[in-house]
Each structure stands twice: as structure tokens, then as C-alpha cells.
Structure 1
């Protein structure tokens, strides 16, 4: 997100001075940027859903589950049988092949913080995307105005 000093540095551009080619080119560029932002937003949403699912799985663990048989995922579609050694301690995958061991409460707290952080990032991306959509709308408005002016001259 832009800081206050960056916001002050924003410059307004008079789109009516641009040629049709420039307007179409900018519209195309900004539409591509919006598509990338939408993909990023979806990736963040997927990440958030994984954190929420992990937290729900931790919420289901009971203290008396020692030696309980469970299925351990090796990949998204391959599971092996396993047993819970200590229901109060879990390994968390924190990314890039790194794992940390935490107790159940600390693990839940960690997942809640990560979920909140990812949600903040989703909101930031959405704000930028909405600004770009408004810019596209402005470009389309100028394009329509120029087309109307051109048809009135003919």
C-alpha cells in the first residue's frame, strides 16, 4: 500500500489529450494488471483457506488422543497411517520446507495471526485492483467521448 508521501506524489493525467491508440494501449495494459491482481488475490485466498482448515483441524484434536490412529498426508492425494505421539505438540509447515514445533495453543495462535495477515494482504490487493478498475472506467469514458465527437464531425 502506498504511504502518505507516495500518495502526494501521484500525478493527475488528462486522458482527453491522449490519442485513441494510447488510450487503447493503456486500457489493455491496465486490464492485464487487473487480471494479475485477481490471480494474486485468488492465490492469497487459497492460502488463507489452508490456514483456516489447519486451524479447524487443530481445534478438533482432543487431549486424550495419544496413540490415536490417523491418516498423515504425504502429498495432496497420498496418505499413510500414523499415530499421534503427543496431542499437545504439533509441527507447523512455515514454508520453504521449514517446520516448527509448537504446542497446540501456540499453533492455533500462529495460524490465526497468519490468517489475519493474509486477509490484510487480500484487502490491499483488492484496493489496488479497484483503483485500476476505476482507471479503466475513466479510459472507457474518454474513448466513448472521443468516438462520439468523431461521429459528430462526420
Structure 2
């Protein structure tokens, strides 16, 4: 029986001691926890980009309703808004990451958010397959551990 080690090389699990198997399982559990956290964060980011895309698409469809000078609430944080006035109905400010903002027309902003959503979606899919592989590795290691633990008392009984 063999499984995958962290480096991608095949290891015969039957040759490992119970302590070594426990160490490998612990390492895989830690990796799974980290990957699952990353997976959740990627989903949250994808959701935010989808919301931004939806807002930009709505503005594109209603650009005649939005007029320059119109009073709007500008979000400073998730729960803090300030009054402002719309300076352009055809342009938006896009957060491109690490504190940088770029002015884009509505169509370019929609494309930007669509591309980001698709890119993150691909990363989520790749990460999901990695998580499934690691989960399968943990199951295999747990099964080998169970077998070795069950065999250990049987090996000690004839010696006594």
C-alpha cells in the first residue's frame, strides 16, 4: 500500500512505524486546515468580485438614471458611509489591490471584475482538487494506522 508524501513522492506506508504515520497524518491535517482556510478566503473574494460586477452591470444599464452631481452615499468601510456627489456617471473607481485604485469606464470595470471572478473560480477549482487529494491521503493513512494498531496487540501476545 502506498500514499503520497507532501513532496509528491510515493511512500510505502507499510514500512512506516505507527509514530511516523502519526507524524505524517498530523502534517497532512495541518496542511488541510491551511488549504481549507485559503479555500474559504478565495470563495469570499470571489463573492466580493461578483457583487462588484453586479453593481457595475446595474450602473451600466441605468447610466441615464445616474446623473453627474447626484447625491450618493460613498462607503468608507463596510459600515461607514459619507455623503458625496457623483462626478461621472460613466466612470467608476476600481480597487485593483494593495491599496491602488484606477478610474475605469463602466464596461472596462465590468470586464475587470468578470476576469477576476473567473480567475478566482479557476483557483478555487484547483484548490478543491488538491484538498480532495489530501483528504484521500489522510483516509489511507488512518486506515493503515488502524491496521497497525490492531496488529500490534496480536504480535505481542505470542511473545508473552
* Normalised TM-score (structure 2): 0.86
Query: In structure 1, what is the Cα distance between the partners aligned to 2:9 and 2:84?
Result: 60
- Specify the alignment match of 2:103 in structure 1: 101
Q: Which moved more, 1:58-67 or 1:41-50?
A: 58-67
Which sits farther off after the overlay, 53-62 or 114-123? Answer: 53-62
Match of 2:41 in 1: 43
The structure having more radius of gyration, on CA atoms, is: 2
Question: RMSD in angstroms over aligned alpha carbons?
Answer: 1.4
Show structure 1 runs of 4+ deviating over 3 A. none
**CA distance 1:10–1:97, change in 2 (3 Å):** closer
| Within-5 A mapping of 1:98-137 | 98-137=100-139
| Unmatched runs of 5 consecutive residues or more in structure 1 | 1-8
Unaligned runs of 5+ in 2: 1-6
**Paired residue for 1:3?**
none
Give the 3-state SS of the residue equivalent to 1:91 in structure 2.
strand
Deviation, 1:59, is 1.9
Moved more, 144-153 or 87-96: 144-153
2:22 is aligned with 1:24:
yes
Among candidates 52, 55, 66, match of residue 53 of structure 2: 55
Q: Distance in 1 between matches of 2:31 and 2:19?
A: 18
- Aligned-residue offset at 1:10: 4.2
1:49-108 superposed Cα distances (whole Å, 9 cap, x missing partner): 110111111122121201332210111221001122211111100011111111111110
| In 1, Cα distance between equivalents of 2:37 and 2:88 | 39
- CA–CA separation in structure 2 for the residues paired with 1:143 and 1:94: 48
Residue-pair matches, total:
146
Show CA shifts across 1:113-150 (max 9, x none): 00000111111111111111111011011011112222
Counterpart residue number, 2:74 = 72
- Under a length normalisation based on structure 1, what TM-score does the superposition of the two structures give? 0.89
